[in-house]
Amino acid sequence: MRTPVVATPSGRLLELRLDAAQRVFRDEVRAFLAAEMREARLHCDPLDLTGCSLEFERAHQQRAGARGYLGIAVPLAQGGGGKPPSFRAIYSFEAAYHDAPSIDTAMVLCGAPILAYGSDEQQARLLPPMIRGEVLACIAYTEAGAGSDLTAIETLAVPDGDGFVLRGQKVLVTGAHKSQWCITIARTDVEARPRDAFTMFIVPLGATGVRTSRRATANGWTLSEIRFDDVSLGRDAVLGMVGRGWPQMTAALVDERSGLAWLGWATRLIERLAGWAATIPDPIRRHDVVNAVVSLHTDLVIGYRLAERVLDAQDQGHSTGADAAASKVWATELLQRIARIALEVVGVDALTWSPVMGDPVDQVALGGRLAWEYIERIHPTISVGANELQRDSIARAAFARAARP
C-alpha cells in the first residue's frame, strides 16, 4: 500500500533507478513504513519537527532500529548492516515519503563524524544505541554570529587539567530538548588559523552547566538553543583530534547530502497533486493543474538523476563535491516550487494550516498539509549549507573543468 490518493489510475510516475538488491530493500522498507504510519494521525505533535509525538518517534525508531534500518550503511565491524551508503539514502527517501519520524535520527545527524573520528571507546559506547534507535542526539555547530562561516565560532573550550571547560552558546539546533547528547565544535586555540583552531566534542546534555531552550520556528515546531556555562569536559569528550575540528566537520557535513529525503517529500506531494488533479470537474482548471503536475514531474525526474549520480559516487567511495551541491540545490528549490504551485492550484483550502502527517483524507486536509508545506519549505534552501554556497561550489567546479584543455 502506497497511498490512498491514487496518483494515476492508468499511468505511472517515473521512479528512482535502483538495482535489484536496492529494490528489495526499498520494498521491504516501504511496507514497514506504511504499516508504521497507518495510525500516525493519532500521534500528531506540531511542536516537533517530525510532526509526531516524542513517544511515537521513540517507539518507531526502536522498531526501525530492531530491523537494522537505522545503521544499514554502518560497516559490519562497527555493528551495522554493512550495506553501501545508497541504502541509507533509500531509507531516508522512504521515511520522508511516508512522513515517518526517522529522518533526523541520531545516526543520520551524528553518525558520520563518530564513525570517521570516534575512538574505539566512543564507538563502542555510542554506536550500538544509535543503531538500535534507542537514543536521540543532535549537532550544535551554528552560533548567532557563525552560520555558513563557521570560522567565526566563538564558543571556547579552555584546557583545564586533563580536560576542557566549555563556554558559549549554540543556536538553530535540531531537537536538543529531546536529545541525550550533542556533537559540538569550539575554539581550542585562540591564536591559530581556523584549520588548527577548533576541536569537536561530544557533550552530554545532562551535564552541569548545560541549558537548552526551545524557540518556535515560523512553522510552529521548535529549534533549540544550547548554553554552555563552564561545562567541565573530560579528555574522553574530544571527538577526533584536538585542533582538527574544522577539517573534520567539513568532511562530515559533505557526507550527508544526497538529498533523498527532499525527493521523498517531493514525490509524495506530486503524487497527491496528481491524484487531486484527476478529481477537478472544470476542464480548463484541470488542464492547468495537469500541466503544472507534468512540469513538476519533469523536475522531479531531474532531481532523481542528480541524486543517483551522487549515490553512485558515494557507493564507489568517490567524493561528491559539486555534484552533491547540484543535487541539494535542485531538490530544495523543487520543494519550494511544488509548495508554491500546489498552493495556487488548490486555492483557499491551502491557506488553512493543519500539519497532519500521513494521508490527507480530503481536499480540506490536503490543503491544510500544503499550507504547512508552504511555510516549511522556506528553510531547506538555507540549511545544510545555503544554496548560495552550493552555487559557489558548482561554479568553482565548472570554472576548473572549463580551464582544463
Partner 1 sequence: MKRTRPDLREAVEQARGIGASGEASGHLVRTTCDLVLDSLEVRDGATYDTLVSPVVSSRDPLDESLLASASGRGWLVSGTVAHVPQAVGASRLLMVVRSRPFAGRERGLRVYSVDAAMSGITIVPLTSIDADRSARIEFDAVRIGDERAVGPSRDATRAVDAALDCATIVAMAEMVGAADAARIAAIRWVSERIQFGEPLASRQAVAHRVADMTLACDAVGLLIESALASAITNGGRPDPLLVATAKLAANEHLPAVTAHAHQLHGGEGYYADRPLHRWHRRVTSLAMQFGDRPTLRARAAGLLGLAPAI
Establish if 398 lies at the interface with partner 1 (CB under 8 A). yes
Alpha-carbon span 130 to 300, nearest angstrom: 32
Cell numbers 537514543 correspond to what residue?
Answer: 135
Binding flag, residue 62, partner 1 (CB under 8 A): no
- Asked whether 96 and 103 are in contact (CB, 8 A), the reply is yes
Q: Which residue number, 47 or 397, has a Cβ lying nearer to partner 1?
A: 397
Q: Which is nearer to partner 1, 67 or 391 (CB)?
A: 391
Q: How far apart are CA 34 and CA 40, in angstroms?
A: 10
Check binding of 134 to partner 1 (CB under 8 A): no
Burial 234-253 (b: 16+ CB within 10 A, else e): eeebbbbebebbbebbeebb
Stretch that binds partner 1, among 222-230, 243-251, 324-332, 362-370 (CB under 8 A): 324-332
> In the complex, what is the shortest distance from the CB of residue 394 to partner 1, in angstroms, rounded to a whole number?
4
Contact of 173 with 225, CB cutoff 8 Å: yes
Residue 4, interface with partner 1 (CB under 8 A)?
Answer: no
Query: Closer CB to partner 1, residue 171 or residue 254?
Result: 254
Enumerate residues 371-390 that contact partner 1 by CB under 8 A: 388
Task: Mark the segment that binds partner 1 (CB under 8 A) among 20-28, 84-92, 117-125, 286-294.
Answer: 286-294
Binding of partner 1 by 58 (CB under 8 A): no
- Nearest distance, CB of residue 109 and partner 1, angstroms: 27
Kindly identify the residues of this chain, within the stretch 21-40, that bind partner 1 according to CB under 8 A: none
Q: Where are the alpha helices (DSSP H) in 118-188?
A: 120-132
> Count H helices, E strands: the chain?
12, 8
Which region among 142-150, 168-176, 210-218, 322-330 touches partner 1 (by CB under 8 A)? 322-330
Binding to partner 1 (CB under 8 A) within 259-278 occurs at 274, 277-278
Nearer to partner 1, 101 or 275 (CB): 275
**Residue 175: strand, helix, or coil:** coil
**Selected binder of partner 1 within 1, 4, 12, 120 (CB under 8 A):** 12
281 is an interface residue for partner 1 by CB under 8 A: no
Q: Is 206 in the site for partner 1 (CB under 8 A)?
A: no
Q: Which amino acid is at 113?
A: P
291: contact with partner 1 by CB under 8 A: yes
What whole-number distance in Å separates Cα of residue 48 and Cα of residue 4? 25
Residue 205 has a CB neighbour count (10 Å cut-off) of 20
For residue 294, what is the enclosing H or E element? Answer: helix 283-315
Per-residue DSSP letters for 64-110?
A: HHHTT-TTTTS-GGGTS----HHHHHHHHHHHHHTT-S-SS-HHHHH
SS3 194: helix
Specify whether the CB–CB gap between 245 and 314 falls below 8 A.
Answer: no
Considering the complex, what minimum distance in angstroms separates the CB of residue 17 from partner 1? 7
Residue of 30, 41, 227, 309 interacting with partner 1 (CB under 8 A): 309
**Start-to-end CA span in the chain (Å):** 53
Q: Which residue number, 87 or 304, has a Cβ lying nearer to partner 1? A: 304
Query: Which residues contribute to the site for partner 1 (CB under 8 A)?
Result: 7-14, 17, 274, 277-278, 290-291, 293-295, 297-299, 301-302, 305-306, 308-309, 326, 329-330, 388, 391-392, 394-399, 402-403
